[in-house]
Chains A and B, each alone.
Chain A
Amino acid sequence: MIVRMRFFPFLLTIASALAQDAGATHADWPHYGGTNFAWRYSALDQINAANVKSLTPAWMFQTGDYAANLQATPLVIDGVMYLITARARVFAVDAATGRELWRYNYPEPPPSVPGFVGNRGLAVSDGKVFFGTKDNYMVALDQRTGRLAWKVNIDDARQCGCNITAAPLIAKDKVIVGGSGGDGAHRGYLTAFNTKNGRLAWRWYVIPGPGEKGHETWKGDSWKFGGGAPWLTGSFDPALNLVYWGTGNAAADFYDSERVPEGADKRRDVNLYTASVVALDADTGKLRWHYQEVPDDLWDYDSAYEVLLMDREIRGRMRRVLVHMNKSGLTVVLDRVTGEFLGAFSVPEVRTWISGVTENGILVGRNEPQVGKTVNICPSAAGAKSWNSMAYSPRTGLLYVPVNEVCNDITVVNRAPEEGHSNMSGEFRLKLPEGRTTYSHMDAWDLVTGKRAWSIPYKYVLLASVLATAGDLVFTGNPEGEFFALDAKSGNRLWSYQTGAGNRGSPVSYAVNGRQYVATPTGWQNSVVGGLEAALFPDQNWRLGSTLVVFALPEGARAEGSR
């Protein structure tokens, strides 16, 4: 008995050490989410709470693509940084100096190709650099030279109304990508290609076709244009050989009478597999399990966001868990082997779409849009969190989340779907909740207890991703152009730098020759959700641009602060 007691803590330590290593980056930042566990956490600690006040710019890289914004996550591998701009201009840059090594300009699609100009990142594997495009090509470049290796078309944007803005995901010898278009009349899907030759590996449709399980959760022909587009990047657990992905909302967004079967039980599994997180076999794309977060979504609460994978002790048992937040700010913690629900918490302070969630994950007190009148609902279709990613630190065990407090007036206008065109069946008008003077906050959340550890208010909205580091720092930026570092334990602001343009991208950390760097994209976006400042803060005019700003410690400060 005594021996057992001694062994038990020892085994736990090993297990958590392994789990800690799996999701952290070191000198490289090889994937969109840091690693394929999507923590956006760097194990580097040269820059830390004691010396961060000395952090200064080391170099900057102006891409010259001032179309609108710079949203991408830069990747760093063996001292070379790979960066993609809004119009898919790809650069390889010396990560220590900013010297350009090569560039590739993807030919701009003609104006007849509809969609949003923006790109959230690349993937690198198998000696190639991969990215998706506005006109729905998966493109592979030679990693060493930037020369086009192969490209393959996934869909015609003129027909589907869909585009690729997300970074692809690498799972062994496959490159996997989703697309947008789920607020239009479109049926979302993921597509996997072989990295070697670009040949199709598999296609998974978010909405099951006739004869497939889950098809019965759709009324009539509504499945054909039911949305669900998985428009961001998933995660991959090689030990389980499972790919995890979040899916978009059901369409028509605000009106369900044409898509929900008569007498459907809205507590579970309506309009599968929209507004869900799914686990797919990495080799075949076959569905292993699903968890639907918003059954019969009527609020445009996409669940397409990042999927964080980690091992944590939950109620006395070590679990391989998955953490996933959707647009409503509702965050579920699942067993990622089975999909079993382990817990949930909601991050916005103003929430009127539901009154709560049961211990089994059932939504309670649904406040749905009504035909014939306008209903104010919080949070808004712009999201309690937008696509910008949260971060997770295994040192504090906390999630770092930018949360927006914005509501909307929803008016239902039912209309028949038309392929590739907007299928919202309603209008939403963004509104600030009454009685507040701050409209966002940067939070730390304990995923095991579901409690908020700290929260720092901000006047406007937060739409940049978060980076956490082993120096117990949390980095993110705001639309006014400030890029700043918070103490991971307390939330205290330790450092800030005015980067000259709004922050709407994803910062990373890496090291070259023993020197740690922090890099952040800058350049605001004035369309789609980034354009909400026009609706909410008309006196603001946040600056556009497309510049990567890279910081490091000066030589002296490095010696002083290192641990």
Chain B
Amino acid sequence: MPLWPRVLSLWRNVFRGEQVDRDLDEELRAHLDLLIEEKVSSGMSAAEARRAALLEFGGVEQTKEQVRASRTGFLLETMWQDLRYGARMLARSPGFTATAVVSLALGIGATTAVFSIFDTIFLRPLPYPEPDRLVAVYEIELGKPDGSYGVSQPNFIDWRKQSQTFEQLAQTLGPTPFVISRSEGAEEVSAQFVTDGYFQMLGARACQGRLFVADEYTRGKTAPVVLSYGSWQRLFGSNPSIIGNTINVNGDLLEVVGVMCPDFHGHGETKIGIWLSWNWLQKDRKVRNFEVIGRLKPRISTDMLRSWPALRETRRLSGRS
């Protein structure tokens, strides 16, 4: 069946419906007139002829309905009628309409909110390469499986040397609010201490300068700092010559070694503004206030980890978008 006539008919039926209906009215009236005329010329009286013609014709309105139903776009037309009817009924009872609209709005809003949270936490993968290999690592006291603690710095250093399980391990502290002072004034940012390898483990890259290196905290010179792209833009006007210069953080002068690319804001809930590296060592193994993130070696599962006595408690990092 050719498409073009159909399209034309649809156009006519939907947008020029009244004219099409008037035309049909006229056609059916003409048909009835011809029928009457035929009866009259076969010898009937005018009244008789009219009665007979109407009888033969059947229901005029019914015929119109049947023609309408056979047209292209009939469904569209009735749907439009239903919509208009619905709108009229709603307009007639504003109380009911308001209640319905508010219920729907609250329902949809609540569902969306719950789903957004669910999506972020459970469905959306962490924005890092191979996120299922990333785990958070805790210390536990042997014989007390209920409590878990952070990791002390000496333990972390030992693990990093000895571990057969992790491809990479990184230690973090914070986030904590730090103040950056410039000639224009002071500004508070979220700061996080991280060890070298932290950025590489999460697949984060520096867009300016470099990331932290291995001997950062044994160098004993000016402590290095890495800026987030946002901080670099906001606090230092995206000035590329900031690399290698010192900035005032909490009253100390630190050397800016790098600026992260715009897509990296840290691994937790808080958007991090600057990252710092240790240039000191907390030698006490009982000071367990550091977080450790690890990337598992291939072929090591979290189940296997649980059987390693010193590192029984592991869980996935909480996700964020």
A, B in one complex: no
